[in-house]
């Protein structure tokens, strides 16, 4: 709708917005959300709530559009008290949906044995990616690695460098990096090293690079790496499988290790990746 587009563009070009240094991905996501809103944001609050309920059955989708409405109404100095109350009320609905999905996934996801059996038969890049998912619980962003002959002093990216018949991973750019800082891992697994050397990476090459040799944006990287994951399960489902297996075995020490390697608190692991967490 025209008025939403105009208000959004005003907000986007406002000096206060520019100070936030939004990433290109954030701007792209905000723009898509604003452009897809099917009703005016300056309507009465109860009307907006009614429209949200009519247009979006999924509470997560509803919350995305509601956040946009609240943000733009704040910018235009319009009341948002009822919208904020509705957003708070929706949190319970979202939590219930999340637990239902976890419960459903418990019976739908394959076993850890299935993952390990498949891993044995993989080669090259596909082996490396799934090895890191299964053994370290990495997120996609962690695997956006740059191969270097020597680690730089300033480390703004994620790196891999061969050392002592193995490889050192220096993970600096990941979801919770500001909280946990650099994550360092040494891998000396013989098959991992064999498959890595097959790739014949040179200093400055990315583990997964664009046809021109450049680093992929995270959105494109996520799409590509999904195709490399076993059965195209993706890193989230693979991590849920790991968690289910470890909970079944009561291997809490290993869960703690994955908490460190993933850079995620134990509380978050139990809340978001525990398929038994449905009550």
Q: What is the pLDDT of residues 132-184, one digit of tens each?
A: 999 999 999 999 999 999 999 999 999 999 998 899 999 999 999 999 999 99
| Distance, CA of 97 to CA of 100 (rounded, Å) | 5
Of 275, 276, 272, 277, the closest CA to residue 259 belongs to: 272
Confidence of residue 92 (pLDDT cuts 50, 70, 90): confident
Beta 145-147 vs 166-171: how paired, if at all? unpaired
Confidence of residue 218 (pLDDT cuts 50, 70, 90): confident
Residue 107 has pLDDT above 70, yes or no: no
Contact 162, 194 (CB under 8 A): no
Burial class (CB in 10 A: 0-12, 13-18, 19+), 91: exposed
Beta 166-171 vs 183-187: how paired, if at all? antiparallel
Range of lowest pLDDT (18-32, 110-124, 185-199, 200-214): 18-32
Angle ∠(112,117,118) on CA atoms, nearest 5:
100
Which CA distances in Å does 171 have to 16, 129, 252, 267?
A: 32, 15, 24, 22
Residues in the chain: 279
| C-alpha 20, offset from chain centre | 21
The pair of structure tokens assigned to 116 is 């390990």
Contact 1, 38 (CB under 8 A): yes
Q: Return the axis-axis angle of helices 59-75 and 45-55, rounded to nearest 10°.
A: 150
Which contacts of 185-189 are long-range, i.e. CB under 8 A and separated by 24 or more positions? 185/136, 185/261, 188/164, 189/131
Q: What are phi and psi of 211, to 5 degrees?
A: -55, -25
Give the residue with greater pLDDT, 8 vs 58: 8
This prediction has a pTM of: 0.65
Of 99, 127, 94, the closest CA to residue 240 belongs to: 99
Beta bridge partners of 171: 183
| Distance, CA of 269 to CA of 279 (rounded, Å) | 16
What single DSSP character describes residue 215?
B
The pair of structure tokens assigned to 3 is 């008025």
pLDDT at residue 277, as a whole number: 64
Burial class (CB in 10 A: 0-12, 13-18, 19+), 169: buried
Positive or negative, the CA dihedral 258, 261, 263, 265 is: positive
């Amino acid at each position: 709708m025209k008025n939403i587009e105009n208000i959004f563009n005003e907000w986007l070009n406002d000096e206060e917005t520019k100070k936030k240094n939004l990433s290109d991905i954030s701007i792209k996501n905000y723009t898509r959300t604003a452009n897809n809103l099917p009703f005016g944001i300056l309507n009465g609050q109860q009307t907006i709530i009614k429209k949200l309920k009519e247009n979006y059955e999924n509470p997560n989708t509803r919350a995305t559009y509601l956040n946009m409405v609240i943000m733009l109404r704040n910018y235009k100095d319009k009341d948002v008290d009822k919208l904020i109350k509705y957003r708070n009320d929706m949190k319970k609905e979202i939590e219930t949906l999340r637990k239902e999905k976890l419960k459903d996934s418990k019976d739908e996801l394959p076993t850890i044995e299935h993952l390990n059996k498949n891993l044995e038969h993989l080669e090259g890049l596909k082996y490396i990616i799934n090895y890191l998912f299964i053994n370290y619980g990495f997120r996609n962003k962690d695997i956006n690695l740059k191969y270097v002959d020597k680690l730089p002093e300033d480390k703004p990216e994620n790196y891999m460098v061969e050392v002592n018949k193995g490889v050192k991973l220096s993970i600096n750019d990941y979801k919770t990096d500001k909280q946990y800082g650099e994550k360092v891992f040494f891998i000396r697994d013989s098959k991992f090293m064999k498959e890595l050397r097959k790739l014949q990476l040179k200093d400055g090459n990315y583990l997964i690079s664009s046809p021109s040799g450049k680093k992929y944006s995270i959105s494109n990287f996520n799409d590509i790496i999904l195709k490399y994951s076993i059965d195209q399960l993706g890193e989230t489902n693979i991590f849920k499988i790991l968690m289910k297996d470890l909970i079944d075995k009561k291997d809490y020490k290993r869960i703690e290790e994955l908490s460190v390697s993933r850079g995620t608190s134990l509380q978050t692991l139990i809340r978001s990746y525990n398929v038994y967490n449905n009550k």
